[in-house]
Amino acid sequence: MDIYSKLKSMTILLVDDNEVIRGSMQFHFDSHGCRLKTVETGEEALKAIRQEKYDIVIVDYRLPGIDGLKFLELVQKSHPKTLKVLITAYGSKKVFAKAAKLGVHEFIEKPLTVNSLEESLRRLVNNKEYLSTQANNYSGLEQGSRCL
C-alpha cells in the first residue's frame, strides 16, 4: 500500500510562511486525494486545531508570530496523540533536543521537497501502526509499566 492510500484517511495540517511551499504541497496532496490544510502562521494553526482534529501537523520552525516550537508545545498539551513533524533550515542540537522533548516524531531539513516529506510521512505512519499494534498487545499490563 502506498503512503497516499494511508494518508487519505488522515487529516494533515501544514504550517509554513512560504506561499510557494504551501501552494505546491496543497496541489500535490490534493492530486492524491489527501486532506491537507495549509496555513501561514502559528496563530492561524492554533485556530485550525481548535476547529478540527488533525492526525499530523507539519510545521516550520521559523514563522512570523509564535514559532514552530511554541506551536508544537501547545499541540502537545492539547492534542498529545497528534503526530508532529518539524521543518527547519536552522537545525541545531538545541532545537532538536527541545523538539524531541515536545514529542516531535520527525525532522525535515530544508529545502522541503515532496520526496523528503513523503519519506518522513512514510516513516511516521508506519511507526504509528507499529506503536498501535504494540499498545494493543500490551494493553493488559499494569498501569505505569512502559514497553517500547
Ordered by start, the domain boundaries in the chain are 3-137
Specify the CATH architecture of the domain 3-137.
3-Layer(aba) Sandwich (3.40)
pLDDT for the residue 64: 93
pLDDT for the residue 129: 60
| DSSP SS3 for 110 | coil
Predicted TM-score of the model (pTM): 0.85
Q: How many CB atoms lie within 10 A of CB 35?
A: 16
Q: Dihedral (C-alpha) 100, 11, 117, 69: value to the nearest 10 degrees?
A: -30
pLDDT for the residue 144: 33
pLDDT for the residue 99: 92
Spell out, as residue ranges, where the chain has pLDDT lower than 70.
Answer: 1, 129-148
Is 17 in contact with 40 (CB distance < 8 Å)? yes
pLDDT for the residue 9: 95
